[in-house]
A and B are shown apart, each in its own frame.
Chain A
Amino acid sequence: MTMIETVSPILFRPRSTSRALQKFLGNKGAMIGAGILIVFALAAIFAPWIAPYNPIKTNFLVIRKPPSALFWLGTDELGRDLLSRLIWGARGSLVAGGISVAIAMAIGVPLGLLAGYFGGKLDALISRIVDALLSCPFLVLAIALGAFLGPSLINAMIAIGLSAMPIFARLTRGQVLSIRHEDYLEGARAIGLPDRWIIARYVLPNILSPLVVQAALTIASAILAEASLSFLGLGQQPPYPSWGSMLNAARNFMEQAPWMSLAPGAAIYITVLSFNLLGDGLSDALDPKSQH
């Protein structure tokens, strides 16, 4: 162990973390995105305290009321307060985005590491599977898997996670291949470090930046996919609110209650846009090519 600790500072590539951070903090788009997401996340966390009404309690006296001082965003077809449903719905969307990307990375990154690091038959097998999965469009695959697993928010997260997995596997593999013959890896191998250690200590930290960028961008697609699945009835089940399922209900009242469509769609759009801005900012800050 002592040997490894004395060797690692030499093998480790110097990283310009502070410069990247500075660049990221100076990116207006990314900061706006981050700010919006923090507000949404707080709203989701404190939903029980800030939501003015119970999001699932129906009230037939106030069916489809337009926005007013009492109901800021109006009410839906069962007399439920749209603002309260929107705030509670943020929980589903944000959690679904995070968890499905966590699932995708938990499976995809190890597969990509194995394929890229060991190569050979293992690489051929993993790459073929990834190719096959990637030949079905992300959303179509997620819908098919979601239908197969059965309609629920958890199943939708699993379906989206599995559909996004091959993207991470392919990206990780490509990144590993690009650093495979770097001197610091050759050196680590030459002094006989176990593969497990090399992967965890030298490979993974050096390919982390593109993975982080991809994670932010994939959360954006995952939230969009969760909304799509809920819109089709494959995600969050009634009476619990989700932005996608709120839009599905709103669709039937486009003429009578147009306000029902506005808020949930805008919430999805702003959240996804924020994650995309964040991903762009991270990509600019972490990409060595764009540092000039």
Chain B
Amino acid sequence: MIAFIARRLVGAIPTLILISLFVFTLQKLLPGDPILAMAGEERDPAVIALLHEKYHLDQPIPIQYIRWVGGLLQGDFGMSLRTEQPVTTLVASKLPVTLELAALALIIALAIGIPAGIIAALRKGTALDYGANIVALSGISIPHFWLGILLIMLFSVKLKWLPASGFVPLFDDPVQNFKTLILPAFVVGVGLAGTLMRHTRGAMLSVLGTDYVRTARAKGLMPRSVVLKHAFRNALMPIVTLTTLLFGEMLGGAVLTEQVFSIPGFGKMIVDAVFNRDYAVVQGVVLCVAVGFVLLNLLADVLYRVINPRLRTAS
């Protein structure tokens, strides 16, 4: 297993190098010189030269790239040109908020998506199946920001049960924290639940048709045991892989949802950085996301092997 993980990590290196090249090139191609913005109204050439030197922008591009990657490897993602904070600090302060949102969303998605998928597969072709499918497709098709607006109008404006926006950290006030996060988590979770339901249904259908499930039924096992123990455990594999890979979708959802609910998380930071032309932050964020995604892919492969003993002996 360790050899497998090591092999996969080495295999990820070319991808990571390419990502860093993309991000670096993109930054160099971006219009507008942030240094000019920092130099202020007078645009004193001496100040500009000094700033260029301070951020190593006076050196050849390949050297700049090597310097930058060297910094990355030491955990130095640069400074936010706007807030003058290290990007690492910014990311570290915003990431927990989004992770909490993502965790809540994932719980909601799993709680709705998996049972709905199993039931739809067991009742294939019935009104229940079609209904579940339409609801799942709706979850995938509904724009996050619109669902967010609708929920705010219902629960905050009309019923006044929940706050419309804002965020309270978990350790300051867990109850208030939950109140501020439940609506956004539901918004992000609904889309994921749709995807999960459809995949669970598909995986269950392919497993329910197999010989071992027929055998289990034939030998008179309880239907509940056949479904949960024999069928679902085998259907679980694609679902586990999918769940780790849903991360990307979750982050995409979080970007807009955090915007609608004014939650100071990772997603809102991306949008703010993009609009403020704070390229160091955009770079750092894209890199963090890409590295996280590569690691999650690895995690998916490892989990796949843990759940499926056949793969372990095969290699």
Measuring CB to CB, which residues of chain A are less than 8 angstroms from any residue of chain B? 29, 128-129, 131-133, 135-140, 143-144, 147-148, 150, 220, 224, 227-228, 231-233, 244, 247, 250-251, 254-255, 258, 261, 264-265, 268-269, 272-273, 276-277, 280
Contacts and interface: CB of A to CB of B under 8 A. Distances in A.
B143 interface: yes
Interface stretch (B63-71, B94-102, B119-127, B247-255): B247-255
B137 A277 contact: yes
Nearest to B27: A148
Contacts, number: 121
A137 B248 CA distance: 5
Contacts of B220: none
Contacts of B29: 148
B149 A232 contact: no
Given A135-B293, A147-B275, A148-B29, A273 B149 contact: no
- Listed residue (A133, A148, A269) with the most chain B CB atoms within 10 angstroms of its CB: A148
Given A143-B255, A231-B256, A254-B157, A135 B290 contact: yes
A128 B140 CA distance: 29
Contacts of A247: 143, 145-146, 149
A269 B271 contact: no
Given A265-B143, A265-B146, A135 B138 contact: no
Contact of B149 (A137, A138, A251, A272): A251
Contact of A255 (B15, B157, B252): B157
B282 A137 contact: no
Interface in B118-167: 134, 137-138, 140-146, 149-150, 152-153, 157, 164
Nearest to B266: A140
Nearest to B292: A135
Nearest to B149: A261
A273 B271 contact: no
Interface in B37-55: none
User: What's the interface size class on B, roughly?
Assistant: 35 or more
Interface of B: 14-15, 18-19, 22, 26, 29-31, 134, 137-138, 140-146, 149-150, 152-153, 157, 164, 247-249, 251-253, 255-256, 259-260, 270-271, 274-275, 282, 286, 289-290, 293-294
B7 to A, nearest CB: 16
When A and B form their complex, which 9 residue pairs have the shortest distance between CB atoms, in order from nearest? A265-B146, A139-B252, A137-B248, A132-B18, A272-B141, A273-B141, A147-B274, A135-B290, A135-B293
Contact of B146 (A138, A144, A258, A268): A268
Contact of B293 (A136, A220, A232, A280): A136
Nearest to B279: A148
A228 B144 CA distance: 9
A150 B31 contact: yes
A224 B289 contact: no
A261 B146 contact: yes
B279 to A, nearest CB: 9
Contact of A224 (B22, B141, B152, B270): B141
A132 B271 CA distance: 21
B141 A269 contact: yes
A123 B14 CA distance: 14
28 contacts: A29-B134, A128-B14, A128-B15, A129-B18, A132-B15, A135-B15, A135-B290, A136-B248, A136-B286, A137-B252, A140-B255, A140-B289, A143-B255, A147-B282, A224-B143, A228-B145, A231-B145, A232-B256, A232-B259, A247-B143, A254-B149, A255-B157, A258-B157, A268-B143, A269-B141, A269-B143, A276-B137, A280-B137
